[in-house]
Chain A
Amino acid sequence: MNLNAESITVSAQRRTIVNRASVDVNAGELVGLIGPNGAGKSTLLRAIVGVIRRDSGAVRIGGQAVETLSNMERARALSYLPQDRRIEWHLPSRAVVMLGRFPHQRGFGAPSQACEVAVDRALELVGAAELTSRSAAVLSGGELTRVLLARALAVEAPLLLADEPIAGLDPYHQLEVMEILKRTASEGAGVLAVLHDLTLAARFMDRLILLDGGEVVDCGAPGEVLTEENLARVYHIAALRAEGSGGEYLVPWTRLPHD
C-alpha cells in the first residue's frame, strides 16, 4: 500500500509551519524525513496521520483519499508512533502493546487469537518478550521505546510513520530499532521515519526527504540528498566522509557560520 501526501500546508497562529510539502512512501520502502529543528517534520507527520488539521493538501492511502476512510479503516492502514513517550497509568507492557490491536477489535470481549498472535510477534520483533508482565511505568527509557514501538508494529498496518524512533536510545538500541524498521519495510510495509542522526539515515534509508522551513527542499537517495551543499545550506554544518569496510559513511563534524 502506498502513501501519497500532496501539497500539505499546515499553519498555526498565522504562521505557516508546513508549506506545500509532498511526501510519497511506497510499499516496501524505508523513507527518512530529515531536516533541522523547527523544519516542520513532526507537524507534517501529524497532519498526514490526521492528529492535527491541515489547511490544504490531500492524503491518499492506497490510492484512496483519507477522508473517505472511517477512523478505524485509516487506523488499520496507517500506524503512528508519536514522539511523546508517555503512558498514563501503570499498565502492564503487554496491555500497552495490545492497544495496537485497538482498530481490529470491537466491543468488550477478550482479544481474539489473531490479536494475541500479533502482539506476541511484535514483542518478539523488538526483543521485549521478557518485559510483558512488567508495568510500563517501571521500564527504562530504552525498554519503554521498544514497548511503544511494539505497540505500533502490533497494528500490522501496511504503513508505519515513526517520529524520532531512536531518540534517547543508546547506540546498540539505535541500531536495533533501525534494523527493525528496515525489516518491517522489507516485509512489504511502507515506513516513514523522522530522524536526526544523519549517519544512520545515510546508512539505512532507501530514500530521504529533506525539509527546511516547512518546505521539501530535496528528495532522493541518501547520497543525492546529503550533499555538501545541502548540509551547508540547510543544517549549517560540514561532514566528514570516508570509506569504511561497510561502505561510505558520513559524520557531522563542524558548524558553519550562519549567513
Chain B
Amino acid sequence: MIRVSYAALMLCLALLTTIAFMLSLLIGPAAIGLGDLVGSLARGESSTVYVIVTEIRLPRALLGLLIGASLGLAGACLQGYLRNPLAEPGVIGVSAAAALGAVVAIYTGLSLLFPLALPIMAIGGSLAAVLILQVLAGAGSVLTLILAGVAISSLSGALTSLALNLSPNPFASLEIVFWLLGSITDRSMTHVSLIAPFVFGGWALLAMSGRSLDALSLGEETAVSLGVDLRLTRWLVVAGTAISVGAATAVSGVIGFVGLVVPHLLRPLVSHRPSRLLPASALGGALLLLAADVFVRLIPHGTELNLGVITALVGAPFFIYLIIRSKISYGL
C-alpha cells in the first residue's frame, strides 16, 4: 500500500497544476518569457504580449482548469456512486447529449448568427439528459441508471450522425466533426464566464455527495442504515455531473478518458476513500488537461492536434490496460 499524507498529496497536485497553468500562459507560437509576462501584466498596457496572454492564452488556460477539474471530479463521483472503477462521465450519456445540442446549433446555422448559441444549446442538451435519466431511472437500481445512460448516448450519437448525414454543405459537416474532436483553442473570456456558473454549481452538488459516497462503499443497505438518503445522493451525482461536464463539453467538445483515468491513478494515494478522492481528482483532472493542452502546442506539426484526440490516444490504451489488469485480479 502506498502511503502519502493527504495534505502532502493535495499540496503537490496544487503546485503541479499551478506550474501547468503558468506553462499554458507561456508556451505557444509566440514565445513569451516569465519576465515579459509579469512585466506586461504589471503595466497593464495593450502591448502584444498583454493581448496574447489575456485574450488568447488566459481563456484557454482557465478553460483547461475548469474543464479538467470538472471531468476529474465527476469521474471520481460517478465511480464512487456506481461503485465501479470503469465509470466515467460519459456512461450516463451527458457528454453525448451535450455534443448533440452543440451539433444542432452548428447544423441549423444558429451558431453563425449567434456564437453563444453553441454552448447554450450544449448545456440544454445535458440538462435534457438529466431529466430523461430522472424519468427513466429516478428510483431504479444502479444498473437502470447505466442502461438509461447507454440509451441516451446511443440516441444522441444516432442523431449526431443524422445531422452529419443531412448536412447542407461540406463546411458544416467539417465544422461539426472538428468540434466533436474536442479542443479549447480560440475560445474567449466570454466562454469562460458563460460556463463558470454552471461549472461551479455542478462542483457544489458533487462535493455535497462526498460523505455519502464513503458510506456507499459498504453497500446500499449499510449506507441507508447509516442515514444516507440514496435518492438525494443519486440526484446530486447525476445533476452535478450533467451541469459541470455538460457545461465543459459545451465549450470544448467531447474530451474523453480524463474522468476515467485520473480517479484511477489517484485512488491508491488517498487510501481508496471516495470522499478524499473528489478534491484530489479535481486537481488531477485540471493538471492532466492543462498538461495535454501544453503538449499539443509543443508537437511540431502543421495543424495543431485536437485535445480530445490526445486524451483518447493516451486514455484508450490505459483503459485496455485496466481491463486486462481487472481480468487478472478477478481471475476471469
Q: A87-B217, A108-B211 are in contact. Are A135 and B1 (CB under 8 A)?
A: yes
Which chain B residues lie closer than 8 Å to A74 at the CB level? Answer: 227
Is A175 located at the chain interface by the 8 A CB criterion? Answer: no
Which chain A residues lie closer than 8 Å to B214 at the CB level? Answer: 95, 99, 102
Is B218 located at the chain interface by the 8 A CB criterion? Answer: yes
Q: A87-B217, A108-B210 are in contact. Are A102 and B226 (CB under 8 A)?
A: yes
Is A50 located at the chain interface by the 8 A CB criterion? Answer: yes
Is A84 located at the chain interface by the 8 A CB criterion? Answer: yes
Is A75 located at the chain interface by the 8 A CB criterion? Answer: yes
Is A20 located at the chain interface by the 8 A CB criterion? Answer: no
Within 8 A of A (CB), among B175-228: 210-211, 214-222, 224-228
Partner of A72, one of B210, B227, B275: B227
Nearest 4 Cβ contacts at the A-B interface? A75-B227, A80-B225, A89-B272, A71-B227
Which chain A residues lie closer than 8 Å to B275 at the CB level? Answer: 108
Which chain B residues lie closer than 8 Å to A155 at the CB level? Answer: 226
Q: B-facing mask of A93-132, CB < 8 A → 1, else 0?
A: 0011001101101001000000000000000000000000
Interface size class of A (residues with CB under 8 A): 20 to 34
Which chain B residues lie closer than 8 Å to A103 at the CB level? Answer: 226-227
Is B285 located at the chain interface by the 8 A CB criterion? Answer: no
Is B229 located at the chain interface by the 8 A CB criterion? Answer: yes
A116 to chain B, nearest CB (A): 16
Is A19 located at the chain interface by the 8 A CB criterion? Answer: no
Q: A89-B272, A91-B272 are in contact. Are A75 and B226 (CB under 8 A)?
A: yes
> Once the chains bind, are B267 and A50 in contact (CB under 8 Å)?
no
Which chain B residues lie closer than 8 Å to A75 at the CB level? Answer: 225-227
Is B271 located at the chain interface by the 8 A CB criterion? Answer: yes
> Once the chains bind, are B227 and A82 in contact (CB under 8 Å)?
no
A3 to chain B, nearest CB (A): 14
Is A241 located at the chain interface by the 8 A CB criterion? Answer: no
Is A208 located at the chain interface by the 8 A CB criterion? Answer: no
Which chain A residues lie closer than 8 Å to B228 at the CB level? Answer: 71, 102
B215 to chain A, nearest CB (A): 5
> Once the chains bind, are A91 and B225 in contact (CB under 8 Å)?
no
Q: A87-B217, A108-B210 are in contact. Are A82 and B267 (CB under 8 A)?
A: no
Is A90 located at the chain interface by the 8 A CB criterion? Answer: yes
- Docked complex Cα distance between A95 and B221 (Å): 18
Is A92 located at the chain interface by the 8 A CB criterion? Answer: yes
